Amino acid sequence: MEEQRDAPLWRHTTLKIGGDAKRLCHPSTLRELTDLMEQLRSAGEPWFILGGGSNLLVSSAGVEKTVIRTTQLKDISSPEPTIIQADAGTRLPHLAKYAASLGLAGLEFSVGIPGTVGGGVIMNAGAHHSSMSNVLEEVTVFDSSTGEIVTLKKEELGFEYRKCKLDPSVHVVLSARFRLDPQNKEEIEKLTKQNEDYRWKTQPLNWPNAGSTFKNPEPTKAAGMLLDQSGAKNMKEGAAAVSAVHANFVINMGGATSSEVISLMQKMQERVYEKFQLNLHPEWKTVGHFSDSEKAVWNNKT
């Protein structure tokens, strides 16, 4: 298994921010991943799973853990006519296009999500009024609390908006199965392409970003709209800035630090609260060392 010491993580995040990992591992098979997890579990060593590196803020101070990057785990197949099975490191855009090529509908929404299957399941990733919970049939995980590999049905996962019962500090997604609907292949491919084009038109893909910064505070109130109407598009902190294309995207203009990003996020929260008396909560996950004041952004009670 490929392994690096003191590996710079900014190279593996879509925001292009992150200090060095104490150890960075790149398993290329599910067996390598489960063997590694068992070793870490037995030794009581801390770890973190890194998929596509989106929806994540890594501390510029680095990460004193073994970081496991899953992107080499990308086997994908259709073992049954309406089933697609994919390893945890499969990119969601690839998953969507693979399903479309088979004439299977249901995953068109995921073509614009820059994450992987593992992260997508844990966060119940969604777009275009759909989400992983609508198409997932079951997921196989390594449970680090017991050392067991278990398969869980969708009904056991307790899916909610941008989360489920799986704990990313305990459960490691190995693979997932999706049940889809056979439909007209050309129509599926057309909708997939429309969703992909929409992403390019409405998101700042020419700049490093981690995806949507904040969750929608209410079903009828989009975080991007609230930020836009509160004047957040002109905000900047060091080399971190709010995108002029979409107010719910923080971009790295070059050399931004995690501290600059968090300071900007705090000001965005304050701006929305001042105008609408609504609290915004980050959609991103974090890893690495952050001060108590920085962590407060994730427990926003403005």
Pairing of strands 47-50, 63-69: parallel
Token representation of residue 225: 């709209």
Q: Which of 108, 237, 260, 283 is catalytic?
A: 283
Q: Which of 270, 265, 224 is nearest to 246 (CA)?
A: 224
Task: Answer whether 111's CB lies under 8 Å from 93's CB.
Answer: yes
Three-class DSSP category at 87: strand
Task: Answer whether 192's CB lies under 8 Å from 108's CB.
Answer: yes
Any catalytic annotation for residue 160? no
Which amino acid would we find at residue 139?
V
Any catalytic annotation for residue 91? no
Three-class DSSP category at 178: strand
Any catalytic annotation for residue 169? no
User: Residue 42: in which H helix or E strand, if any?
Assistant: helix 30-43
Q: Which of 212, 230, 243, 258 is catalytic?
A: 212
Pairing of strands 130-131, 56-58: unpaired
Whole-angstrom distance, CA of residue 131 vs CA of residue 113: 11
Q: Which of 64, 78, 133, 162 is catalytic?
A: 162
- List residues with catalytic annotation: 162, 212, 283
